[in-house]
Amino acid sequence: MRKYLATAAVLLVVPSLSFGAGFALFETGTRSFAMAGAFVAVADDPSAMFWNPAGLAFQDDKGTQVMMGAILIAPQQTFYGEPPYPGEGYSTEQKDQIFFPPHFQFVTPLGERTTFGFAVQIPFGLGTYWDDDHAGRFISKRVDLMAYDLTPNLAFDLTDNLALGVGVDYRISTISLTRNVPLVDPFSQQVVDVAQTHIYTDGVGNDGWGWHAGLLAKLGKGVSFGLTYRSSITVDYEGYADFFQFSTGNPELDAIVAQTIPFGETISGTTQIEFPDFWIAGLAWTGERVIISAEWGRMGWSSFQELALTFTDYPEFNESIPENYHDADQYRLGFEYRASQSLALQLGTLYDETPQPQANMTPLLGDAARTSVTCGLSWIKGNFRLDLGYEHLMMKDRSTEGTSVSGYDGRYESSAELAGASMTFTF
Amino acid sequence: MKKIALAVSVVALLVALPASAQLNFDRYVALGDSLTAGFTSGGLVDCYQMHSYPAMLAAQAGAANFQMPLISPPGIPSVLELASLAGGVPVLVPAGDPADAFPYNATYPAPYNNLGVPGATLYNLLFTTGDINNLLAGNTDNVMHDLILRIPQVLNPQTGQPMDFTALVQAIALDPTFVTLWIGQNDVLGAVTSATAMEGVTMTPVDVFATLYPQAVGALVQMTSADIVLFTVPDVTMAPFVHTIPPFLNIPALGGVVPIMGSNGPLTSDCLVTLLASSKLAQGYGVPVPGYPPLPEDFNLATGEPGYVLRPEEVAAIQERVAAYNAIIVQTADAFGLPVFDANAVLADLINHGIDLGGVHLDGSYLTGGLVSYDAIHPQQLGYAVFTKYLVDFLNDTYGAGIAPVDLTEILFDNPCYPLGSAYGVAPESVQFSPEAAEGFLDLFMPTLPQVLPREQEAASATD
């Protein structure tokens, strides 16, 4: 019995990692979002604190800026079963969910060559939510993960054409996961659901520190080069697990289960997640009315090879499971056309590899490479700017092809619609 | 060999099908023993027989007609169930009176496609017949062969002379298009069930196996046009039957954990204790205190009582014997150009590491592992289904057979035989077999001397 609980507990923490690039969020400002995030060599609004903090140094002529907004994300995913489990003919869809990771940025010059910025952003977050009785309920019924970053930045214009930005990231993360606990019923010799477990963190103390730095160089003739590195961040989690017993219809079995699982008790456990580092490099050309930007990024998911979970009071639950992620590249292309002093239009497209091995796709996350097209507009009036953006994200259909390490084989078909809005005030 | 030669004439009357690049399941014949028959939880009963690996393979391959010696509940012998959980001690007993079981397909007018005979050795495959009338007359000396082979002799259509209708000859007579052969387990299993590795008694001598196995395969190759797949013999020392009860007792009055006292001295940590020892231990056997009887370690030839302890050297001898059999199987396959399905490797991986299905972990743990039945030796329906999955994968890889992959979903949540049995325990180390359950089990899987003949006797018998 306890081995199931241990597995449940571990897997409940894994999904936060298992989302990989698919769980990483890049929506920290609507204008950069509408340019598909091809912003490392542009970095000319407060969202530069995510894409390239050096860009703040070239914004000192704008005075103090405050930007805030949110990107709504509406994912869809359908799972089609394959043998041996859950088999051909089985399909299920995720329940409808809408996420709206917010962002807030504050930028102000500290002197002629120094700019200060502070941002609150969510670089990782999302969730999956399946029906209570779906075939993968022993892996996950619902997972939610959020990672909030508080990031102070300083940017320096070393010369008129070269800037450096550095910052610190303080990350707070929360996880909530729900799944059923299976048991081979010794009475019937068939699998039954004996409990539901909910593992969660409260966010307090589940934190970690990281840093980032960026370089932005104006090479002349409107061409700029940007380079950013965001460090990995290790978050130590203290989590809890509660259990709710299901009746199997057999009082004798239920009594045995009740003696084995600590119902009515909250047990504690710890784990550690190393969020990946992130390299970004790109070029942009800025003309009188047009910006064209291209960039490459790599997230260092290869650091995520396994996950260890420790239960202080229940050491028999301790477990380490392999993940075998690999680094994932992404390619972004953005375009902006300034139609007038008050209106600008954006377009973009991106291709994002998945770090998740085929065998590791589960109801926690069935990730795949994705392609996106984006568009948006900016309306400027005086000291106020409104950005609106939209993204259609298409994920490649992907099957485990009988390789699932959790024995849950099938094909995932996924897509997402995203829409964002940001407001910027300049003082 | 005379019998085999006679069988040629039977086959000669049938038109051989041309060899096919893909497998033809029109007449699939499964030869073997209890593992082929679908023997589960100490009995042979229809709801489990229909989930034997040959039945599932035939279904996946779309075989139109796959006949089995189906037996109604509670099975022959009756499958086991748990009679009591009092005190947390699960006690296994027969689910019913096997006299209530009925072989309702016994009048099928041809050999069965599933010719797996529980308890059969390699020798039995070649030379043992069965007579349903013997069973109907109340004689239980050869139950499984009587049930499954039914007709002891048939007339050779060419000579008009009677010939023994053994499992091998029945298979050939069906003019099979595809044959699986999984034999050899009972040539060594008795060493485990009796906890005694005894040459020629509980283990078939290697030279006998080396003689008989190629003969059986050769007959199939020469007298049929079937595609033939040979299975390796599993390491029978892997069975939970000898990995559930530890070689020690926890007696607080003696200071905690103490080694069981065997008839040859205290058991060491690498000794294996059979599941049947649980009843003995409950009676006080093995307690390392003067006045308590030691746990009998070895088979008692005089009384027929099994031993209960395998010493490390016995385990090694059994494993070496299995390895020798498998070497012969591989050599035979090479000689005839046949593929070998490494059932030994598949079962070892399943028992030792298990398989995950949608977050459900199944392994060889007794009672709660999901793969092994209550007799602790044979798979249960889930175990057979998972085994069939690997077999289908092998056949598809080897032949490009295009057999539909096995879907384990339904069987994961629905035991076709439940609630035939009623309840099972959760303290496997203290499980007790009732005397009736143990007796029925032992009747089938204890060694019987006539089943294992030295080479000269075998040769004499073959020329009778």
pLDDT, average across residues A393-417: 94
Best A80, A85, A250 residue to mutate vs chain B (most B CBs within 10 Å) = A85
Put simply, the answer to whether B413 touches A184 (Cβ < 8 Å) is no
Length of chain B: 464
Structural domain includes residue B355:
yes
Put simply, the answer to whether B358 touches A189 (Cβ < 8 Å) is no
Interface of B with A in 353-392 (CB under 8 A): 355-362, 367-370, 373, 380-382, 386, 389
Give the distance from residue A202's alpha carbon to the nearest chain B alpha carbon, in angstroms: 26
Tell me what percent of the residues of chain B surpass a pLDDT of 90: 67
Number of separate domains in chain B: 1
| Closest Cβ opposite residue A83 in set B381, B406, B421 | B406
Q: Using an 8 Å CB-CB cutoff, list chain B residues near A402.
A: 405
- Residue A52 predicted with pLDDT over 80: yes
Structural domain includes residue B88:
no
Structural domain that includes position B178: 23-76+101-234+314-414+443-453
Q: Which residue of A has its CA nearest to B362?
A: A184
Give the distance from residue A184's alpha carbon to the nearest chain B alpha carbon, in angstroms: 5
Best A92, A184, A246 residue to mutate vs chain B (most B CBs within 10 Å) = A184
Best A189, A248, A250, A257 residue to mutate vs chain B (most B CBs within 10 Å) = A189
Q: Compute the mean pLDDT over every residue in chain B, rounded to the nearest whole number.
A: 86
Q: Compute the mean pLDDT over every residue in chain A, rounded to the nearest whole number.
A: 89
Of A157, A24, A43, A168, which is closest to residue A101 (Cα–Cα)? Answer: A24
Residue A287's CATH number: 2.40.160.60
Give the distance from residue A407's alpha carbon to the nearest chain B alpha carbon, in angstroms: 4
Residue B385's CATH number: 3.40.50.1110
Interface of A with B in 3-22 (CB under 8 A): 3-4, 7-8, 11
Put simply, the answer to whether B409 touches A86 (Cβ < 8 Å) is yes
- Residue B15 predicted with pLDDT over 50: no
A255-312 pLDDT per residue, tens: 888 888 889 889 898 888 899 999 999 999 999 999 999 999 999 998 877 767 777 8
pLDDT, average across residues B399-408: 92
Q: What was the pLDDT predicted at B93?
A: 76
Confidence class for position B89, pLDDT limits 50, 70, 90: low
Confidence class for position B303, pLDDT limits 50, 70, 90: confident
Structural domain includes residue B292:
no
Measured between CB atoms, does A186 come within 8 Å of chain B?
yes
- Residue A212 predicted with pLDDT over 70: yes
In sign, the C-alpha dihedral spanning B384, B389, B392, B393 is: negative
Measured between CB atoms, does A285 come within 8 Å of chain B?
no
Q: Using an 8 Å CB-CB cutoff, list chain B residues near A192.
A: 413
B208-241 pLDDT per residue, tens: 999 999 999 999 999 999 999 999 999 999 999 9
Structural domain includes residue B49:
yes
Tally C-beta pairs within 8 A across A and B.
Answer: 105
Confidence class for position B330, pLDDT limits 50, 70, 90: very high
In this predicted structure, which of A74-78, A109-113, A122-126, B131-135 has the lowest mean pLDDT?
A: A122-126
Q: What was the pLDDT predicted at B86?
A: 58
Structural domain includes residue B419:
no
Measured between CB atoms, does A194 come within 8 Å of chain B?
no
Supply A159's token pair: 């010369």
- Residue B88 predicted with pLDDT over 80: no
- Residue B84 predicted with pLDDT over 80: no
Put simply, the answer to whether B359 touches A191 (Cβ < 8 Å) is no
- The 3-state secondary structure of chain A reads CHHHHHHHHHHHHCHHHHCHHHHECCCCCHHHHHCCCCCCCCCCCCCHHHHCHHHHHHHHHHCCEEEEEEEEEEEEEEEEECCCCCCCCCEEECCCCCECCEEEEEEEECCCCEEEEEEEEEEEEEEEECCCCCCCCCCCCEEEEEEEEEEEEEEEECCCCEEEEEEEEEEEEEEEEEEEEEEECCCCCCEEEEEEEEEEECCCCCEEEEEEEEEEEEEECCEEEEEEEECCEEEEEEEEEEEEECCCCCHHHHHHHHHHCCCCCCEEEEEEEEECCEEEEEEEEECCCEEEEEEEEEECHHHCCEEEEECCCCHHHCEEEECCCCCEEEEEEEEEEECCCCEEEEEEEEEECCCCCHHHCECCECCCCEEEEEEEEEEEECCEEEEEEEEEEEECCEECCCCCCCCCCEEEEEEEEEEEEEEEEEC
Put simply, the answer to whether B357 touches A256 (Cβ < 8 Å) is no
Q: What was the pLDDT predicted at B33?
A: 98
Cα B233 from Cα B203, distance rounded (Å): 13
- Residue A321 predicted with pLDDT over 70: no
Structural domain that includes position A34: 2-426
- Residue B17 predicted with pLDDT over 50: no
In this predicted structure, which of B132-141, B143-152, B266-275 has the lowest mean pLDDT?
A: B132-141
Put simply, the answer to whether B407 touches A136 (Cβ < 8 Å) is no
Number of separate domains in chain A: 1
Q: Which residue of A has its CA nearest to B427?
A: A186
In this predicted structure, which of A178-182, A253-257, B205-209 has the lowest mean pLDDT?
A: A253-257
Query: Bigger pLDDT: B97 or B271?
Result: B271
Q: What was the pLDDT predicted at B159?
A: 82
Q: Which residue do the tokens 């007038």 mark?
A: A340
Q: What was the pLDDT predicted at B439?
A: 57
A131-166 pLDDT per residue, tens: 999 999 999 999 888 899 999 999 999 999 999 999
Structural domain includes residue B195:
yes
- Residue A125 predicted with pLDDT over 90: no
Q: Using an 8 Å CB-CB cutoff, list chain A residues near B354.
A: none
